[in-house]
Amino acid sequence: MDKFTTLTGVAAPMPLVNIDTDMIIPKQFLKTIKRTGLGANLFDEMRFDRDGNEIPDFVLNKSAYRDAQILVAGENFGCGSSREHAPWALMDFGIRCVISTSFADIFYNNCFKNGILPIVLPQEDVDKLMDDAERGSNAVLTVDLETQTISGPDGGTIGFEVDPFKKHCLLNGLDDIGLTVEAAAPAIEAFEAKAKAERPWV
């Protein structure tokens, strides 16, 4: 998993509330178990019409936001079914951070396990960042996980809270497998040293 330390990127405003996982990645795209390729269908039913043409008014179809790496969203983002494909699709599109007043619990935890930083802020702070995000190509935010701050285009800074364990995992690029390896590293090294001493010919 890629580490998350500091991210500077365009923030796209998505003020809709209750954006569920079926809106993030519709069910017909869940056949794959690969984490790649899903970005093409992120928000598919909002991005494209029935003929597959882009809907010009959708935020990620606008030229200023096509390469957005941050979403500033309405409350209860990621509600609905627990599909892990939702953070996979966001990550594959290039979204590394989602900011909202609240998230569905399963989606929130799945984000951390897939290299995405979900940030919970009070409504007033989300409103400020939403206003920043509506500036188009000037909607650049810097998210610093180490200092737990978000810097806006005007130089203002907002602090955020994050669980220390989840922060450690993101800063070090540790998913569940990485955590297991990290915890077991001393035992693995001891075993390998003993095996080498006992069977040097192997």
User: How is the chain split into domains, by residue range?
Assistant: 6-171, 175-202
pTM for the whole structure = 0.87
Q: What percent of the chain has pLDDT over 90?
A: 74
pLDDT confidence of residue 175: 72
pLDDT, tens only, 111-146? 999 999 999 999 999 999 999 999 887 899 999 999
Q: Which CATH class is domain 6-171?
A: alpha beta
pLDDT, tens only, 141-188? 999 999 999 999 988 999 999 999 999 999 999 876 555 555 555 767
Cβ proximity of 70 and 126 under 8 Å: no
pLDDT confidence of residue 92: 96
> In whole numbers, what is the pLDDT of the chain averaged over residues?
91
As to burial, measured by CB atoms within 10 angstroms (0-12 exposed, 13-18 middle, 19+ buried), residue 180 is exposed
Which is it for strands 97-100 and 70-73: parallel, antiparallel or unpaired?
parallel
